[in-house]
Amino acid sequence: MIVSVASGKGGTGKTSVAVNMALSVGNVQLLDCDVEEPNAYLLLHPEINKKEPVYTLIPKVDRELCNTCGECTKFCQFNAIFVASEKILVFPDLCSSCGGCAMVCPRKAITWEKHKIGTLNFGATDGVALVYGELEVGKPMAVPVIKAVKKQIKEGGNVILDSPPGTSCPFVETVRGSDFCVLVTEPTPFGLHDLKIAVEVLRKVGIPFGVVINRAGIGDKKVYEYCKEENIPIMIEIPYQRRIAELYSKGVPFSLEMPEWQEKFQALYNQIKELVGK
């Protein structure tokens, strides 16, 4: 079963939920797809035993074959390649590696070369196999690194995906193919606003979901009212509690020090299994 943990806004505690659920269930893969700022490893403290580079392919132009006809420039919708009378410029950070420029080149002057955009990190701790991606500083496209992280999913196992915040392309790529998505929110106006957007996206892509309310006890009741109106199950509430905050600030998953929460996260995972029929 593949369970993604996501949120419409940042700072709701989705990584904390993903890590505590993984530790409570055990024998799972945890894939941190928040490649622009991965932080699951800060809570798990794994021993990193392997690293792999992540590459995309960008066009390489053979100047001896190229006659600067400009067909590649006309085709590229991302403006990643520019042809002038004397120069050909390739902008790697704009290229989506679609291969179209090479296809339309009448002189077959375009081939491909690797362009590093990130790194995969592999580690393990306490029955959790961790994989997290790191996007190179200054690189604008997270999706290729997220795809590389998701390629590490082992068939037939239990997998938890920690999604990037927001509801843009990295979020969609992370939750794609999940059996279920846990949306972590907080009972505040900002939490409700971004929860609504995440719900709309998940409904359009057809992924079943439920809500975890973190920092319960602050804010108002509008998140609860919204979930009731939309028939969205509230699966668990995590209270706004000093002990939990203290452990988090020390980089300690609170379920390790508060055993009753291991049972609650195990119950959450079992509830998800029942909902998806796994």
Task: Indicate whether 93 and 40 sit together in one domain.
Answer: no
| pLDDT for position 179 | 97
Task: Indicate whether 50 and 76 sit together in one domain.
Answer: no
173 token code pair: 């790529």
Q: What is the CATH number of the domain that holds 30?
A: 3.40.50.300
Domain that holds residue 157: 2-54+125-276
Does residue 155 have a pLDDT over 90? no
Task: Indicate whether 215 and 86 sit together in one domain.
Answer: no
Does residue 177 have a pLDDT over 90? yes
pLDDT band at 244 (very low <50, low <70, confident <90, very high): very high
Q: In 3D, which of 161, 158, 136 has the Cα closest to residue 147?
A: 161
Q: Report the pLDDT averaged over residues 198-206.
A: 96
What are the two backbone dihedrals, phi and then psi, of residue 105, each rounded to the nearest 5 degrees?
-70, 115
- Name the pTM for this structure: 0.93
Do the beta carbons of residue 233 and residue 226 sit within 8 Å? Answer: no
Task: Indicate whether 149 and 205 sit together in one domain.
Answer: yes
| Structural domain contains residue 208 | yes
| Structural domain contains residue 114 | no
Q: What is the CATH number of the domain that holds 74?
A: 3.30.70.20
Task: Indicate whether 172 and 70 sit together in one domain.
Answer: no
List, as one string, the DSSP characters of 134-191: EEPTT----HHHHHHHHTTPPTTSEEEEEPPSSSSHHHHHHHTT-SEEEEEE-SSHHH
- Residue type at 157 in one-letter notation: G
Does residue 278 have a pLDDT over 80? no
Task: Indicate whether 150 and 214 sit together in one domain.
Answer: yes
**Calpha distance 243→103 (Å, rounded):** 59
| Structural domain contains residue 119 | no
Task: Indicate whether 98 and 141 sit together in one domain.
Answer: no
Domain boundary among 77, 108, 139: 108
Does residue 219 have a pLDDT over 90? no
| Structural domain contains residue 228 | yes
Average pLDDT, the chain: 95
| pLDDT for position 41 | 97
What are the two backbone dihedrals, phi and then psi, of residue 236, each rounded to the nearest 5 degrees?
-165, 150
Task: Indicate whether 175 and 232 sit together in one domain.
Answer: yes
Neighbouring residues of 269: CB distance < 8 A, sequence distance ≥ 6: 3, 21, 24, 25
| Structural domain contains residue 120 | no
Domain boundary among 46, 75, 108: 108
Task: Indicate whether 131 and 98 sit together in one domain.
Answer: no
| Structural domain contains residue 10 | yes
**Calpha distance 231→229 (Å, rounded):** 6
Task: Indicate whether 130 and 205 sit together in one domain.
Answer: yes
Task: Indicate whether 153 and 20 sit together in one domain.
Answer: yes
Task: Indicate whether 28 and 11 sit together in one domain.
Answer: yes
| pLDDT for position 277 | 81
| Structural domain contains residue 117 | no
- Number of folded domains in the chain? 2
pLDDT digits (tens, 9 = 90+) for 41-50: 999 999 999 9
Helices (H) and strands (E) in the chain, counts: 11, 11
| Structural domain contains residue 118 | no
